[in-house]
Homo-oligomer: A and B are copies of this chain.
């Protein structure tokens, strides 16, 4: 065996254990949000910090540098593995272990503080924790940026290759048409009926489970639990999802579930050959979000699929207020004033993201102080949405992300929407009779196409590359905006 092949094998053997430990760290996060007794929060922060210390030491192990110098990838898979390991090694090596552990500790503590503050609508109670997280994230960004843009350095962790400038261009391309569409929709003579009534929480959860099954979620390798903020967690053969239930709004539970199923199916759809290797996870948050959003929206909120869901709703909730499948389609997609990003319709969703993108960028650059964040949020929200935030849990405290240190993450949601628009165009071309299948609750053709063209590759290609290969064209915002204008013009009879 050549020296290069030996180095590769040694490297991958060590990396495999690092990946396994990374899975453990992720599951600890899952446990914290679903199962952990509240009194354990300080201890958990120490545990997370210790685990991060282990992971950081492994990621910066000097042997990795030596192996990377000797190893050459024998094929495209090996080359991609080495690329990911090199990237992780270079990034981790720039961050002192002390800082990595402090971040793990603080973000674990801050999540609990955020959840309490959100429940009590008490921004002041969250501010000190947020201030500490931002200070640490700015320190981390400075280590990574090495003189470059602090916010770009953080974005790169979630979306390799993206920058604030490239994302800003994307948003500039989206905003005018989205704002115009929203205005046309809100002023339209025809308005779909809102959903009214109370919906039994157990029945909502039962339907959510059936929807997960309909989208191909493998219950043998996953599970569904409740959490304050829906999320998915884990890779390989253990990809779990969470949802939440609001009695007056079953779409919250149902579409959160489909969304998280999209994330989990991406992880579960990756080639088993890549399990516990750097290729064995979704390649970026943008590509991840493309899967969750196409499951949720282009498939789950389509006229065809909501037609099937209408029957499911009737079977569970009787005459629940929608007079027929056509009315239900309108109700599911109704555009209305709302505070909450995760409950937003497809027209307004990206406007919620733009707000966060602009605010978190200046927070990280030091141009906005955390103490001024609530006011900045409320001002911007009123300007963008035309009405005032009524309480912090509907405003600046609604999202878990900043408490976890996820700065640079929000814009990947809109990138995911853009990718989902492109993938939907390609999927529809590849499966011309898709709607006929969706109308019977069968998603197989869609989910198979996504698995074969996107999910199975894991980290093999660069993020934009995997979308480009799947679509046959370079991703851009056109398909998403065309799709939205067509769909909402139809619903609102524009």
Beyond A24-B28, A28-B27, is A238–B40 a contact (Cβ under 8 Å)?
Answer: yes
User: How often does this chain occur in the complex, in copies?
Assistant: 2
For chain A, what secondary structure do more than half of its interface residues adopt (helix, strand, loop), or is it mixed? helix
Contact A37 B223 (CB under 8 A): yes
Nearest-neighbor residue (CB-CB) of A57 within chain B: B54
Contact B237 A51 (CB under 8 A): no
Say if the beta carbon of A21 comes within 8 Å of chain B: yes
Chain B residue contacts of A43, Cβ below 8 A:
20, 23, 236-238, 275-276
Q: Report the interface size class on chain A.
A: 35 or more
Q: Write out, one digit per residue, whether chain A residues 53-86 have a CB within 8 A of any chain B CB (1) or not (0).
A: 1100000000000000000000000000000000
Contact A237 B46 (CB under 8 A): no
Say if the beta carbon of A139 comes within 8 Å of chain B: no
Contact B223 A35 (CB under 8 A): yes
Chain B residue contacts of A223, Cβ below 8 A:
35, 37
Say if the beta carbon of A188 comes within 8 Å of chain B: no
Q: Write out, one digit per residue, whether chain A residues 1-45 have a CB within 8 A of any chain B CB (1) or not (0).
A: 000000000000000111011011001100100011111101110
- Give A50 to B236 CA distance when docked, in angstroms: 16
Say if the beta carbon of A316 comes within 8 Å of chain B: no
Nearest-neighbor residue (CB-CB) of A18 within chain B: B50
Say if the beta carbon of A477 comes within 8 Å of chain B: no
Beyond A37-B221, A46-B276, A276-B46, is A21–B238 a contact (Cβ under 8 Å)?
Answer: no
- Give A126 to B186 CA distance when docked, in angstroms: 65
- Give A144 to B208 CA distance when docked, in angstroms: 52
Nearest-neighbor residue (CB-CB) of A240 within chain B: B37
Nearest-neighbor residue (CB-CB) of A275 within chain B: B43
Chain B residue contacts of A38, Cβ below 8 A:
220
- Give A42 to B20 CA distance when docked, in angstroms: 11
